Amino acid sequence: MKRHNCSFAMPFICIFMNLKNATVLIIDDDVDILTAVRLLLKPEVKAVVTEKNPENIRSILSRQKFDVILLDMNYNSSINTGNEGFYWLNKIKSWGSDASVIMITAYGDIDLAIRSLKEGAFDFMVKPWHNEKLLHTIQNACKSKDARPADMESPINGFGNSLELLGESEPMQDLFYKIKKIAPTDANILIMGENGTGKDLIAKAIHQHSLRHQKAYVKVDLGALTESLFESELFGHRKGAFTDAREDREGRFEAANGGTLFLDEIGNISLHQQAKLLSVLQNRQVIRLGSNTATPIDIRLVCATNVPLSELANEERFRKDLIYRINTVEIMVPPLRKRGQDILLLARHFSKVYSNKYLKPSLEFAKNAIDKLRNYHYPGNVRELQYAIERAVIMSEGDVLEANDIIFSPLESGATVQEETAYTNLGAVEKNTILKVIEKNGGNISKAARELGITRTALYRRLNKYDI
């Protein structure tokens, strides 16, 4: 016999609340098993799909998303090697499915089942099983999926709880792709962009989609730290280290141990502070003020700055060795004026948020309001748009926002063209980088795109943009 026949326990009544919205796919070439599991799950979950032939998995996944997949480990092979199960498990993962996969195995396949966990399965079920055990395992799989970072495949839905991180435009699609590629790594990230573009939201999204997402996320606004507070806040202090040090206190590095440390406005710290920071990053340990004892730290570092790279590279202002240390991967956040259709997408989003907050009716935008939103240059970026829409919602009298309801902040009217020019000059840097990477890869566009961390389509767009 290829496998043990399943003997199911007597039916029982149990309400699994978090299964009611679950969709489950079962792949097994034993029709009896498919029928039994389908009858068991049908009253408990939202939808059950069964399939005998694993060759059809990809087609099924292209039509429907699943929360849980029950996958048999053996099909056509007369020997219970489990290799078919591993093959299809890896295929499911490579196709981008975020379903929790539960492997189905026979008594003699325990070692294979343990191997399947190492290769990405959520759990395994041994034949024969009891109904209650199967439902409990599926329930745990759904809980695990709910606890994961939010799916990144649909950037319109944003990342996790960062509702303002929305975008359909090409620059944002490229940004989402890059976040998806780098978030699961431990690479240090430097986020660059103008004020108000949402750099803090991107830092949080990187943490939420990293392997450290269950650990601490600690943000430090370096621009708000005085020279005297810098070391105490970041590295901690011992009691009596200075006048107001009345007790031992851990610094932000220790607080973020095991998780992510986000250093905002890093371009504004002094050369003396940079030297202190570089020492900690190189040695991977901190020494509290007033102490001689070093404490090892394990953090993923994300930094952000509104200082253009050309200025940051000036060694009279910023240490080049520190740039290399914090900038394993660089992310450039596009200004709102270069995001096209995202302006209206964000405006409608903020309108809905503030209509709910201030108990207003759902508001529509008149054509003249839409034209005004599209034609404005947004020196204050997303933050300026957000405050303008909030004010418009508060002051609105009817259910339609007109152009004169939308008033942009006079605080941004003094923004200079110099900032725009500095970021435009980065185009030359990008063009040279693309040329070097393409040359390095012998003209192979696919390899060059992978090294640059963008899609082939995105690379072709840049080739056209720079007339390469």
β-strands 217-221, 249-250: how paired? unpaired
Structure tokens of 58? 């990809």
Q: Give the per-residue pLDDT at 188.
A: 92
Cα angle 363-366-369, degrees, rounded to a multiple of 5: 105
Average pLDDT of the residues in 46-66: 88
- Three-state DSSP class for 220? strand
Q: Where are the beta strands (DSSP E) in 73-112?
A: 100-105
Position 8 pLDDT exceeds 50? no
- Own/partner pairs, 441-450, CB within 8 angstroms, 24+ separation: none
pLDDT greater than 80 at residue 107:
no
Q: Compute the Cα dihedral for 379, 383, 388, 391 and give only its sign.
A: negative
Cis peptide before 43 (omega within 30 of 0): no
Instruction: Using a pLDDT cut of 70, give the percent of the chain over it.
Output: 82
Mean predicted confidence (pLDDT) in 150-171: 54
Q: In this model, does residue 4 exceed pLDDT 60? A: no
Q: Report the pLDDT value the prediction gives residue 70, as an integer from 0 to 100.
A: 92
| The pLDDT of residue 306 is above 80 | yes
What domains sit in the chain, N to C, each tagged with a CATH number? 17-147 (3.40.50.2300), 155-332 (3.40.50.300), 336-418 (1.10.8.60), 425-465 (1.10.10.60)
Between 116 and 319, name the one with better pLDDT: 319
Q: Please enumerate in sequence order all residues whose Cβ is within 8 A of that of 434, keeping only pairs 6 or more positions apart, or say none.
A: 448, 452, 459, 462, 463, 466, 468
Question: Tell me, what's the pLDDT at 14?
Answer: 37
Beta bridge partners of 192: 305, 332
pLDDT at 114 over 70: no
Q: Which of 323-327, 401-405, 419-423, 426-430 bottoms out in mean pLDDT, i.e. has the lowest? A: 419-423
In sequence order, the 6+-apart residues with CB closer than 8 A to the CB of 72 are: 27, 28, 29, 30, 33, 85, 103, 104
pLDDT at residue 113, rounded to an integer: 58
- Cβ(66)–Cβ(49) under 8 Å? yes
pLDDT, mean over the chain: 80
Q: What's the first-to-final CA gap in the chain, in angstroms?
A: 63
Lowest mean pLDDT among 151-160, 224-233, 385-394: 151-160
The DSSP string of 365-419 is: E-HHHHHHHHH---TTHHHHHHHHHHHHHHH--SSEE-GGG----GGGTT--HHH
Q: Which residues contact 277 (CB under 8 A, 6 or more apart)?
A: 234, 269, 322
Contacts of 316 (CB under 8 A, 6+ apart): none
pLDDT tier, 89 (very low <50, low <70, confident <90, very high otherwise):
confident
pLDDT digits (tens, 9 = 90+) for 176-191: 888 888 999 889 999 9
**Which of 323, 296, 293, 297 is CA-nearest to residue 308?**
323
* Residue 44: band (very low, low, confident or very high) from pLDDT cuts 50, 70, 90: confident
Q: What pTM was computed for the model?
A: 0.56
Average pLDDT for residues 352-361, to the nearest whole number? Answer: 88
Higher pLDDT, 279 or 440: 279
- Most confident region among 5-14, 251-260, 424-433 by mean pLDDT: 251-260
On whether the CB atoms of residues 319 and 278 are closer than 8 A, the answer is yes
Q: What is the pLDDT of residue 156?
A: 33
Is pLDDT at 76 greater than 70 in this prediction? no
pLDDT at 97 over 60: yes
Average pLDDT of the segment spanning 48-76 = 87
pLDDT at 118: 65
